[in-house]
A and B are shown apart, each in its own frame.
Chain A
């Protein structure tokens, strides 16, 4: 059997084996290689570890094998950026979180070093504060009502359309206005204008007692 396979090909097959995706002839040959080749075996262990850690963090060793981790990091550093399984994206958080020697692990944002982004973040936060303050402030400002708006009873309010938009009027006052127009309009101009005016511009609600 040819054990001298290209290393890369070997590793790929071993990782596939660890995944349980290797079948047939390749499967057999890789198994055989693992038996004989120490490199292959360590690769297999590595991939297995990585896979386990990725899938279930609690399987990560609680007592870190420092030497192993160092070796792992060294090996990973050598790996190409995109592996077949895309393993090398970052250091597996689980494995290194347990390690007190995680000097390289930074909790900072990846774009922290870029000042431009800090600026953007700053502006965004300022804009957010201004937006909140604006909506709160405009809620405090009273609506620009006409100076003659009555500060009348809170009960019995009627919404009436006016040029300032819907204005709240005292329902009682509206009632009296209707009565004034009907029975109080003693004017020489009643006919026809006064009567027509009142019939056209009548009260907003139809029910009156």
Chain B
């Protein structure tokens, strides 16, 4: 009897010390020498795979649902890629009808109710691989990828990956990426407590759907009966505008800066200065202070996007981004007027 008990205790003791030993191993966030098995990709690898999937998956049709701040919107999606060019069509199913066509980084938005078509070139869409290269060393410093299991979403088997922030200055994400090619089927933005701030997901998805690039291109160019508006952007730099971020916020790199040319009566167009840490982005809008329009400093939460407005001498700042409010304060505090 005694010996049995003793052996049991010894066994437990061994198990405990073994588990202690294992737990004591330092966690390597971006294992440089890790074997590239499916389960142990690092953050950059996961992201690259997700990005490539929209090229590797030649075509799909689905219904996309976005839930932000308690409000839900859905749209029908057509996607086709023929290796070099990508085309997408998004038709909103909620709210005023709107059809958005994308051909690589050219975006055309049809608004039937207003008989208006807006065309623009969105530099940020072609940005990703460069973004990854420039910030690849940084994304891993600030986020960690953890595989959390497998789930079936929209009829598709997916890997669940958590992108966990390493500090409190950014939000976390949970990504459901299709197992075969890595297409993101569902995405959640989480705050520090793990609460879902925003979720966007395919509610149904059909791969290898009969979508033709020619057909979509034809639709995209059908602008008869519509008023065409070309959105102009004037690229500039923050320093040329006389601004600098004296205290940079960890992980966030300046990405671009531009002004929108506007009609004279609406006053100066705000300068938009965009920062990103690879996953989250922050925009600082600076415009001249107008005592009639800019009455109160405020903070708002619109789904995952937080915003902050503040007066700074003769200027009015609006800082907006998918980051915690404290991070917005850091940006606002660090901004300085040169010249």
Q: B229-260 toward A: CB 8 Å interface, digit per residue (1/0)?
A: 00001000000000000000000000110101
Checking B50, B114, B200, B256 against A200 with a beta-carbon cut-off of 8 angstroms, the contacting residue is: B200
* CB atoms of A162 and B320 under 8 A apart: no
Do A189 and B279 contact each other (CB < 8 Å), given the known contacts A150-B300, A173-B318, A196-B200?
yes
Residues of chain A within 8 A of B302, CB atoms compared: 169, 177
On whether the beta carbons of A204 and B282 are closer than 8 Å, the reply is no
With a cutoff of 8 Å between Cβ atoms, the chain B residues found around residue A150 in the complex are: 296, 298-300, 309
Cβ contacts under 8 Å, B100 to chain A: 199, 202
B220 interface residue per 8 A CB criterion: no
- Measured CB to CB, the closest approach of chain A to B131, in angstroms, equals 6
* A182, CB-defined interface residue at 8 Å: yes
With A161-B71, A163-B70, A201-B73 in contact, do A206 and B96 touch (Cβ < 8 Å)? yes
| B283 and A206 within 8 A (CB) | no
B70 (CB) vs chain A CBs: closest residue: A163
Would B307 and A173 count as touching, CB distance under 8 A? yes
Question: A209 interface residue, CB < 8 Å from B?
Answer: yes
Cross-chain contact A207 with B274 (CB below 8 angstroms): no
Complex interface bits, B256-298 against A, C-beta within 8 A gives 1, otherwise 0: 1010101100100010101010111111010000000111101
Compute how far the CA of A202 lies from the CA of B98 in the bound complex, rounded to whole angstroms. Answer: 9
Contact B90 A199, beta carbon cutoff 8 Å: yes
Q: Is the CB of B274 within 8 A of A148?
A: no
The answer to whether B200 touches A193, judged by C-beta atoms less than 8 angstroms apart, is yes
Given contacts A176-B270, A196-B200, A202-B92, contact A149 B69 (CB under 8 A): no
Q: Shortest CB–CB separation between residue A198 and chain B, in angstroms?
A: 9
Decide if A191 is an interface residue (CB 8 Å cutoff): yes
Whether a CB of chain B sits under 8 angstroms from the CB of A180 is: yes
A188 touches B113 (CB 8 A): no
Contact with A along B68-106 (1 / 0, CB 8 A): 111101110101000000001010101110101010000
A: which residues have CB within 8 A of B?
Answer: 146, 148-156, 161-164, 169, 172-173, 176-177, 179-193, 195-197, 199-202, 204, 206-207, 209
Could you list 20 further interchain pairs (A-B, Cβ under 8 angstroms) beyond the known A150-B296, A186-B127, A199-B90? A148-B301, A152-B298, A164-B70, A176-B307, A183-B123, A184-B283, A188-B50, A188-B132, A188-B139, A189-B187, A189-B279, A193-B187, A195-B88, A195-B125, A197-B64, A199-B92, A199-B98, A201-B200, A202-B95, A207-B114
Interface, chain B (partner A; CB < 8 A): 47, 50-51, 54, 64-66, 68-71, 73-75, 77, 79, 88, 90, 92, 94-96, 98, 100, 102, 111, 113-114, 116, 120, 122-125, 127-128, 131-132, 139, 173, 175, 183-184, 187, 198, 200, 233, 255-256, 258, 260, 262-263, 266, 270, 272, 274, 276, 278-283, 285, 293-296, 298-303, 305, 307, 309, 318, 320-321
